[in-house]
Amino acid sequence: MLTISNVYKHLERKQLLNEVSFNVGNGRCVGLIGPNGAGKSTLVKLISGLEEPSGGTIKIMGKDIRQWSVKKLAQKVSVLTQDGLSPYPISVFDAVLMGRYPHLSFFQREGKRDIQRVEEVLEFTGLADFRDQMLDTLSGGERQRVAIAKAMVQEPELLLLDEPTTYLDIGYQMNVLNLVKDWQERESLTVLMVLHDLNLAAQYCDELILMDEGSIVKRGTSEEVISAQMLKEVYHASPEIVRHPKLNIPQILL
Amino acid sequence: MRNRSILIISLPLLIATLLVVMSLSITLGSASVDWQTVWRVIFSKITVINQWVEPDWADTTETIVWDLRMPRVIQGAIVGSALALAGAIYQGVLRNPLADPFILGVSSGASFGAALVFALGWQIMWLGQFTLPVVAFLFGFGSLMLVYFLARVGNKVRMETIILAGVVVQAFIGACLSLVMALANEQLQTIVFWMMGSLSLTEWSYNYVVFPIIAIIAIISLFFARELNMLSLGEEIAHHSGVSVSRTRFYLLILASVMTGAAVSVSGAIGFVGLVVPHIVRLIVGADYRLILPLSIIGGAIFLVGADTFARTILAPREIPLGVVTAFLGAPFFAYLLRRAKREYF
């Protein structure tokens, strides 16, 4: 699905990303973790075409993304950012409908099928009752849910999440990630998510990629990646590692 | 859907209002003409319909209605539409509520060009009476390009930078303009009058040129409403939704600026229309550009035709500069709406 080969990025003298290579298989959910400045967000920006790599290639479904227009890329990739949608006075329905944009030509208006898709997604995400509310009257968590609905309507093959839970309370953190998980399972979507919270990463991802100083340090299951030695090395911290009583995965206590 | 029903109700209403204001404006003036005669003169000029109209008015009446007041009212409508639409687009692209059609230096450039034409008495041969608008337009467009390329770093243009570049270029061109004005003795009054905006120099021939330009651009602009909405949600969101951000912004700035340039070149820099009309529309119908753009077009026309009617009748036979009237009417009305608005709307 996603193949990254020897991708690097520097900004003037500063090396943001050293030659990074990895791939993500179809329908997988992979978590990107690592300390601040590890290059996780840079990587997401490169894959979403917001910035261009200084070298290397990024392929989605076997195609180099540089060959695609912004619109074409948006047909394949949806992105959920930590800021989500701005609190702009536009209705939930209209905001979600914007997700259809990459599938429409410049002069084409939204048709029946597009509207129907929006209705379905509003139903699925539990936003049906909010449809006429303006974004600026919603809470951050609700807006993030609208952002997910918009991303779903986009019908992507790959979903990128850049710390989508940063500003949310624990209720909404679970809510947002559960929604993504349901969606992924229903449509065998491929997901790559940057998460700061290692506990959430261990719970929601099939696999974790640990980054530090612009390089990949380790890739594997949460079991393999979250260890006392790794936390010490990369985060310079020594929290307690315990087992989740129900899920049997490593969780950390600060 | 909510949007469509708002448009279906408000557009015909506004267009009807515009027609009423326009015909009212034609009836008023030193020689008043009743409105039935106004419409009959207009119908008599339209093929097919004119066979049902019996011309029973004096020739002077026809001259007043058709040759003097009509072109002026029509130009007012065209210029008002163009400035209001351009203002709405600038505000959306720059994401700045203070943006108006003149923020990127189009009007300073045009004014400078016009001042040169007046001061030097230029008359480019083959351009004839179009020398003034063409030179004004080219200077306006030139200063926009200057601003754009000043603000460009690599191939990206940041919106904060472009506003700053606009301030810089405006200051510089403003200085050039002042210099020309200081040196131009007899022509000073004409230059000042032009800069404050006026529709008194109208001719039919100007409308024939300006109308198609502005109409085509306005129609293209309407198709960008969706992109403007997405840009309002944030640059990154727009990109992730498939909008090619820098290209879309460039197109929109060009469209809005050509429209502004065309309007300014025939009427001078009429302030306040482009700032106030889109805001009034926004306060009433909300932040959706699919509504703001079409309603600003008609709203701008109504506003400017109305203002021009005031400008030429209130102190008749003297005429007040149109820019003075737009600010006089616009500012208090805007202040009233702003105080009344219960929540953030931009």
- Identify all chain A residues contacting B244, using CB atoms and an 8 Å cutoff: 69-71
pLDDT at A127 over 70: yes
pLDDT, residue A163, reads 87
User: B258 vs chain A: nearest CA distance in angstroms?
Assistant: 21
Q: Are A70 and B343 inside 8 Å of each other by CB?
A: no
pLDDT, residue B229, reads 93
pLDDT in tens, A53-85: 999 999 999 899 999 999 999 999 999 988 888
pLDDT at B343 over 60: no
pLDDT, residue A70, reads 92
d(CA A182, CA B31): 75
pLDDT bucket at B317, cuts 50 / 70 / 90: confident
Interface of A with B in 23-62 (CB under 8 A): 48-50
The whole domain housing B40 covers 2-340
Question: Mean pLDDT across the stretch A137-164?
Answer: 91
From A124-128, A164-168, B24-28, the region with the lowest mean pLDDT:
A164-168
Question: Mean pLDDT across the stretch B154-161?
Answer: 80
Q: Is B142 helix (H, G, I), strand (E, B) or coil?
A: helix
- Identify all chain A residues contacting B279, using CB atoms and an 8 Å cutoff: none
- Identify all chain B residues contacting A85, using CB atoms and an 8 Å cutoff: 233-234, 237
How would you class B336 by CB atoms within 10 Å of its CB: exposed for 0-12, middle for 13-18, buried for 19 or more? Answer: exposed
Q: Are B243 and A70 inside 8 Å of each other by CB?
A: yes
User: A158 vs chain B: nearest CA distance in angstroms?
Assistant: 12
d(CA B134, CA A76): 47
pLDDT, residue B125, reads 60
Token pair in block for residue B311: 């400008």
From B80-94, B135-149, B185-199, the region with the lowest mean pLDDT:
B185-199
pLDDT, residue B344, reads 56
Nearest chain A residue to B228 by CA: give it.
A98
d(CA A154, CA B242): 10
Nearest chain B residue to A147 by CA: give it.
B237
pLDDT in tens, B117-128: 888 876 666 677
State the complex-level ipTM. Answer: 0.89
> What DSSP string runs through A10-23?
EETTEEEEEEEEEE
B136 within domain boundaries: yes
Return the residue in B7, B241, B251 with the most chain A beta carbons within 10 A, the one to mutate for interface testing. Answer: B241
Average pLDDT of chain A is: 90
Q: Is A193 helix (H, G, I), strand (E, B) or coil?
A: strand
B102 within domain boundaries: yes
Q: A–B: how many Cβ contacts below 8 A?
A: 76
Question: Mean pLDDT across the stretch A8-26?
Answer: 89
Count of domains for chain B: 1
B346 within domain boundaries: no
pLDDT at B155 over 80: no
Contact A163, A82 (CB under 8 A): yes
Query: For chain B, how far is it from start to end, CA to CA, in angstroms?
Result: 22
d(CA B180, CA B195): 13
pLDDT bucket at B88, cuts 50 / 70 / 90: very high
CATH assignment of the domain containing B23? 1.10.3470.10
Buried b (16+ CB within 10 A) or exposed e, B143-164: bbebbbebbbeeeebebeebbe
pLDDT, residue A191, reads 94
Question: Mean pLDDT across the stretch A16-21?
Answer: 90
Average pLDDT of chain B is: 87
Could you give the percent of chain A with pLDDT greater than 70? 100
Which has the closest alpha carbon to A184: A31, A46, A50, A68? A31
B168 within domain boundaries: yes
Which has the closest alpha carbon to B80: B324, B272, B220? B272
Which has the closest alpha carbon to B260: B164, B147, B133? B133
Could you tell me the domains of chain A? Answer: 2-86+154-253 (3.40.50.300)
pLDDT in tens, A159-186: 999 988 888 888 888 888 998 898 898 8
Q: Does A86 touch chain B (CB under 8 A)?
A: yes
B345 within domain boundaries: no
From A11-15, A95-99, B170-174, the region with the lowest mean pLDDT:
A11-15
pLDDT bucket at A117, cuts 50 / 70 / 90: very high
Q: Are A50 and B239 inside 8 Å of each other by CB?
A: yes
Question: Mean pLDDT across the stretch B59-77?
Answer: 89
Q: Does A144 touch chain B (CB under 8 A)?
A: no
pLDDT at B129 over 80: no
Higher pLDDT: B132 or A29? It is A29
From A201-205, B10-14, B54-58, the region with the lowest mean pLDDT:
B54-58
